[in-house]
Structure 1
Amino acid sequence: MTQPMTRRWILLSVCRNLPAAVSLCLSCFLICALLAGCAETSGVTTFYLPNAAIHPEFDKRYTIWNGERVEINWTPTLREESSKYLAGHPRILLANRVHQIGLRHEWKMAGEGTPLVVFTKNPEQTPKERHYPTSGITLGITAVKETRPGQVPLLKLYDSFDPMVVESASGPEPIAADYTATLAVLYSHAENVARSSIASFIRPDDPRFATGVYLIHPYDPNKIPLLFIHGLLGTPLSWQNLTNDLCSDPKILEHYQPWFFLYPTGQPVLESSAQLREDLLATQRLFDPSGTAIASRHVVVIAHSMGGLLAHTLVSDSGDALWNVFATKPLNSLKNLPTDVKDSILKYFFFRHNPSIDRVIFLSVPHRGSVLAGGLVGSIGNRIIQPSKAPARALKDLATQYPGLLDSYYARVSASGGAPPSLVSITPNPLLNGLANLPIKVPFHSIIGHIGPIAGPGSTDGLVTYSSSHLEGAESEKLVPAGHYLMDHPETVAEIKRILDENIARGRQSFKRPARLASQTDSVH
């Protein structure tokens, strides 16, 4: 028999709130229209992933609120973080009752047990909890009921995102899972993140806006982080459809875990890059102080648009290259340099690659800038973005204390009153060219969009030209018939899956999970 595939269509409507300040409405609308695209009506398709088990519907008897007393068993796939949140009083939902608005595909795995979605508040009481969404912690759990003659039934709880096989009366079967329902509940509670997109772009120094590396599933030391870095006016929600499609693949689930870097996109690229480097290293050390886990030794970065400029600094060594295009004198020749200014210079301009990064996937990245970020859009951005204070102060101090130090381009920037905000710093400029020329230390891949019949040289995705996105030395370059926001395009998803599969195949020994998790089976009677 063949597992049936059902389809249901849901009309999606997206309503975005405009900023309260009337004076900013027109400017924000222009930027959003040019850089963020428009919401579109889309269908949601339900897929059942292929496997050997034949279960057209999940057995509704396997519930934990039907009045029957059951004994709960935490299986080894539930790590300490998951068990802790389940032990409290979370909200528990049947996954097949979750309305998945906003996600284009609905992915389920038929199998043994009942998929559940657990949602609980994030207490944010420990440093680790601060790396999970502030809106709440969402877990995908599969409940498998085991009958025991003369005893209370046993309800075994499994992590739906850790593929497992259990022994049933009919033989080995995978546990059932509803991957999309878990993500849908998570994203439905992320209104604060969605609202921060424009506000953090305009006021990047506002402390109310979160910055850092975030996990959406409990940390797994034996899985490779997929670090997603959004672009201008983006948030982790920019990745929701791609994450949904990737997290439905059993092979990807077995080896990878999604991490996200969130940052205010109005601040200068070098400032955001420095935050990324510091936050990733701090996150790795927090969860694994010894640095021996797979999650600490292997990371794959997926970066879109401006996020790719940040990612470039993770996988390259700056040497003096960036400083030399910014200034006309060596740093060590500057006498009486204030400590705070020197610290800022060292943080922004001098860095070494993170050795845990295995490879990078660049999506529509303006390595050499975007002319559309200048002109009208850049002018609007300059008027409404409140400059980051620390870089602006450091730039002013350098220009004042050391006349003639700054390259002519940055001397003009300093004279205009501050550090270049993100829109200006992604226009073609000397620093951007210097960054593009830094050799990348790991294998990298480019996925580049094109509008119209022309692909490759001479083409554009509407915001970034091919010549800006193209980098020599890429292990692969995929041209996708889509605009700048190509993350959800089927060809993009397929290419990323291919790259991730290849990454595992090449490093199979290094990525090998402990045998207990890789081959464990449980019995269901």
Structure 2
Amino acid sequence: MKSAAGYLLPIVAAALLLSAGCSHEISVTRVGSRDRLGYGSVSTGNGLNQNTANLLANLLLSDQYEENPEGLLLQLQKLFRNEPRPEHLAAMADVALNLGLRFASDPDRAVGYHLAAALYSHTYLQLLDRPGEQPYSEERVGVMRIYNAATGEVFLFLRQRNLLHHKGYRLTTAGGQRVTFQAPEFRLPLSPESYSDFLLCADYQPENLTHVSRRFGLGAPLICRVKPHLDEVRFTDNQTLPATLILQFKPGEENRREVTGQLAFFDSRNCDEVQLGRNRIPLEQDFSTPLAYMAHDPLPFGYLEYMLNPDKTVRMQGLYMFEPYSDDRIPVVLVHGLMSNARTWMQMINTLQNDPDLRKHYQFWGFSYSSGNPVLYSAQLLREDLQAEADRLQATGRPVKMFNRMVLIGHSMGGLLSKTLIMNAENRLVEPLLGDNYREMLASLTAEQRDFVTRMMDFKALPFVQRVVFIAVPHRGSEMANSAIGRIGASLIELPQSLVQRGEGVIGNLMRHGWLQPDNSKFQTGIDNLDPNNRTLQLLETIPFRPGVPYHSVIGNQKEAGIPGGSDGIVPYASSHLDGAVSELVVKSDHSAQQNPLAIREIRRILLEHLRQYPDIQVATPELPEELGEGAAEHAN
């Protein structure tokens, strides 16, 4: 007789043979912390999202994705016509996008898939999207991302073919729809002719920014390169502006395979959303990448040359705007310090413009000057540029309400320039600096030179400056100016011709009449003005600020934050501190405190405070929900 084992052996063997062609049993594998972060990702290994992969698997179409992509897309279109469900259209867009990426080496083939992906996702958002019913739908967010990526790929193809500004050309999608493009729509702050190029933000990765200013939404963010030397406004070198591209579609009335397409360029700073079907959808916005691109090319002159040769670098000097002038935004004028230029503010601008209230109500300007110039001379240039802008607005009849609420932010030497704009000199400088015989000295000058000196030393406060922020400002000087390096630097600076031109300039004329000795001119450079014993610096300290203008101090301390005292390595606390400041913040920082994240956060607070003082500007103050209660609030803190 056979044993029980003998009877069971053939049965087990047969079961093993029958199961040989089946898949492995369902199970799990333990993953590590890195893989755990990918839990819930919408993408599968082949680029498709999980819902699309599920649909293809359920319809036994997964193999077609690899073997017959054109046929797959046609089958999905047929499926959607027979059963027009949103998830089917979303899958079509997903498949088309990824097939376009697969054929990237053949742009003429890839664009058909990308155009199809843009069309399908646009149709989904325009006709089938129900955000009110499904506000947390992962599918609709995925479709928006597909649309954005596809729009960017179509843009790159059209740019490569020089078609961005054209109309009447036709492209065919991989699904067979024929798209005829209308002339593009430009909703940008400057005319289309003012831009030299449009670049895709996704092609660039910002570096060394402490903050990424982006917002999720619809569209492909762009870098708009502005042509140099525009008449409308003075921009800095390599100026860029942010924009968002939308690719719009309209189906034909008689033939659904005929579609009209149009590119629409939206100004990211002035437009937050776009109407698509029955819904208004936020625009995708990227403010960091255009700003980083603007700063990636070196300036024509280095920091040292800019300081030592004011005349040679004069084209870099003056008032700059980082965006076209807007009547409904308050100017924030940023004034850099020693051996610097307007780009020193990029970190701050990048962070501040991410705040929607600041972006809506402020416009950022920069004033650039050679820090080798005497402080009073540079301050005069700043004053004249701002006054010229005020006169221009008045002459053209444009509104000045917001202009008259101007905020100045000065770093280091720039703070010395800035504070003169809220001072009335009232002859506190002319006689002490020029001597008891200053009237005879002035009489020896030409009328133009006399006016020049008087305006430089006997200035009045500008009425439209309503708040000033001082960052690491040497109000009482810095011993750095007395160091060997400081003295050598001062001796190398070539003062501008308007001051020292032989026989014609102010200093040259005063020398010729014996009022100045030849070596006196060397003691009025910007570095000399930072000497704690410098007469100009000491006299400025005696002039009060215009009443009613609040001012703030942000001070660096290399060793510890929040502690009055110490130094930022260049300027000691005793020199930066002002008794009458509305607020004072000491951050742990070197002298470049204007780039410190906590200092920038303080600037944000001050600018919001400035807005709240005007009743016509509605800026909400965040409040803790009552449901949390006092105990919860204390716990949160």
How do 1:420-439 and structure 2 match up within 5 A? 420-428=524-532, 429-439=534-544
Q: Which has the higher helix share?
A: 2
Find the residue that maps to 1:280 and give its secondary structure: helix
CA separation of 1:288 and 1:112: change in aligned 2, threshold 3 A = farther
Percent identical residues: 27
Query: 8 Å contact 1:388–1:419 — kept in the other structure?
Result: no
Aligned to 1:481: 588
CA separation of 1:147 and 1:484: change in aligned 2, threshold 3 A = same
Query: 8 Å contact 1:82–1:139 — kept in the other structure?
Result: no
Counterpart CA distance in 2 for 1:82 and 1:488 is: 33
Counterpart CA distance in 2 for 1:273 and 1:443 is: 20
What are the superposed Cα offsets for residues 73-98 of structure 1, whole Å, 9 maximum, x if unpaired? 646x533x254425xxx322211111
The equivalent position to 1:211 in structure 2, one of 317, 330, 348, is 317
Amino acid at match of 2:553: S
Q: CA deviation at 1:60?
A: 1.6
Counterpart CA distance in 2 for 1:118 and 1:492 is: 30
Amino acid at match of 1:422: G
How do 1:380-391 and structure 2 match up within 5 A? 380-391=488-499
Q: CA deviation at 1:177?
A: 0.6
Find the residue that maps to 1:321 and give its secondary structure: coil
CA separation of 1:248 and 1:72: change in aligned 2, threshold 3 A = farther
Aligned to 2:33: none
Aligned residues: 444
Unaligned segments of structure 2, at least 5 residues? 1-38, 42-134, 158-170, 172-178, 253-258, 620-637
Query: 8 Å contact 2:422–2:465 — kept in the other structure?
Result: yes
Amino acid at match of 1:327: L
Moved more, 112-121 or 503-512: 503-512
Query: 8 Å contact 1:142–1:177 — kept in the other structure?
Result: yes
Aligned to 1:448: 555
Find the residue that maps to 2:603 and give its secondary structure: helix
Q: CA deviation at 1:137?
A: 3.8
Aligned to 1:85: 194
Query: 8 Å contact 1:74–1:83 — kept in the other structure?
Result: no
Aligned to 2:58: none
Amino acid at match of 2:181: V
Counterpart CA distance in 1 for 2:444 and 2:520 is: 23
Q: CA deviation at 1:325?
A: 2.7
How do 1:97-116 and structure 2 match up within 5 A? 97-116=203-222
Residue 132 in structure 1 maps to residue 241 in structure 2: no
Q: CA deviation at 1:69?
A: 4.2
Residue 178 in structure 1 maps to residue 286 in structure 2: yes
How do 1:214-293 and structure 2 match up within 5 A? 214-286=320-392, 289=395, 290=397, 292-293=399-400
Q: CA deviation at 1:291?
A: 5.2
Residue 470 in structure 1 maps to residue 580 in structure 2: no
Find the residue that maps to 1:380 and give its secondary structure: helix
What are the superposed Cα offsets for residues 224-269 of structure 1, whole Å, 9 maximum, x if unpaired? 1111111000011111111111122211111111111111111111
Counterpart CA distance in 2 for 1:159 and 1:424 is: 45
Counterpart CA distance in 1 for 2:569 and 2:486 is: 16
Amino acid at match of 2:569: G
Q: CA deviation at 1:321?
A: 1.1
CA separation of 1:327 and 1:455: change in aligned 2, threshold 3 A = farther
Query: 8 Å contact 2:219–2:284 — kept in the other structure?
Result: yes
Aligned to 1:352: 460
Aligned to 2:20: none
How do 1:275-424 and structure 2 match up within 5 A? 275-286=381-392, 289=395, 290=397, 292-294=399-401, 296-329=403-436, 331-332=438-439, 336-339=443-446, 340-392=448-500, 394-395=506-507, 397-398=509-510, 401=513, 415-424=519-528
Amino acid at match of 1:78: L
Find the residue that maps to 1:148 and give its secondary structure: strand
Query: 8 Å contact 2:329–2:403 — kept in the other structure?
Result: no
Q: CA deviation at 1:156?
A: 2.7
Q: CA deviation at 1:480?
A: 0.8
Amino acid at match of 2:246: V
Counterpart CA distance in 2 for 1:294 and 1:414 is: 48
Find the residue that maps to 2:265 and give its secondary structure: strand
Unaligned segments of structure 1, at least 5 residues? 7-51, 404-410, 513-525
Counterpart CA distance in 2 for 1:511 and 1:270 is: 38
Query: 8 Å contact 2:561–2:586 — kept in the other structure?
Result: no
Q: CA deviation at 1:174?
A: 1.9
Find the residue that maps to 1:459 and give its secondary structure: coil
Amino acid at match of 2:405: H
TM-score where L is the length of structure 2: 0.64
CA separation of 1:465 and 1:271: change in aligned 2, threshold 3 A = same
Counterpart CA distance in 2 for 1:330 and 1:474 is: 37
The equivalent position to 2:182 in structure 1, one of 54, 71, 94, is 71
Counterpart CA distance in 2 for 1:136 and 1:503 is: 31
CA separation of 1:456 and 1:326: change in aligned 2, threshold 3 A = farther
What are the superposed Cα offsets for residues 501-525 of structure 1, whole Å, 9 maximum, x if unpaired? 111111242699xxxxxxxxxxxxx
The equivalent position to 1:146 in structure 2, one of 235, 244, 248, is 248
CA separation of 1:414 and 1:478: change in aligned 2, threshold 3 A = farther
Q: Which protein has greater RCO, CA pairs closer than 8 Å, 6+ apart?
A: 1
Amino acid at match of 2:583: S
Q: CA deviation at 1:335?
A: 7.3
CA separation of 1:414 and 1:349: change in aligned 2, threshold 3 A = farther
Query: 8 Å contact 2:201–2:222 — kept in the other structure?
Result: yes
Find the residue that maps to 1:359 and give its secondary structure: strand
Query: 8 Å contact 1:95–1:182 — kept in the other structure?
Result: yes
Aligned to 1:406: none
Amino acid at match of 1:394: V
Question: How large is the RMSD of aligned CA atoms in angstroms?
Answer: 2.9
Amino acid at match of 2:536: L
Moved more, 464-473 or 58-67: 58-67
TM-score where L is the length of structure 1: 0.77
Find the residue that maps to 1:152 and give its secondary structure: strand
Find the residue that maps to 1:422 and give its secondary structure: coil
Aligned to 2:614: 507
Q: CA deviation at 1:132?
A: 1.2
Aligned to 1:518: none
Query: 8 Å contact 1:163–1:254 — kept in the other structure?
Result: no
Moved more, 302-311 or 112-121: 112-121
Q: CA deviation at 1:468?
A: 0.8
Find the residue that maps to 2:408 and give its secondary structure: strand
Query: 8 Å contact 2:218–2:284 — kept in the other structure?
Result: yes
Query: 8 Å contact 1:387–1:419 — kept in the other structure?
Result: no
Q: CA deviation at 1:113?
A: 1.6
Query: 8 Å contact 1:82–1:218 — kept in the other structure?
Result: no
Counterpart CA distance in 2 for 1:217 and 1:425 is: 33
Give 1 or 2 for the bigger CA radius of gyration.
2
Aligned to 1:20: none
Find the residue that maps to 1:243 and give its secondary structure: helix
CA separation of 1:136 and 1:294: change in aligned 2, threshold 3 A = farther
Counterpart CA distance in 1 for 2:512 and 2:409 is: 40
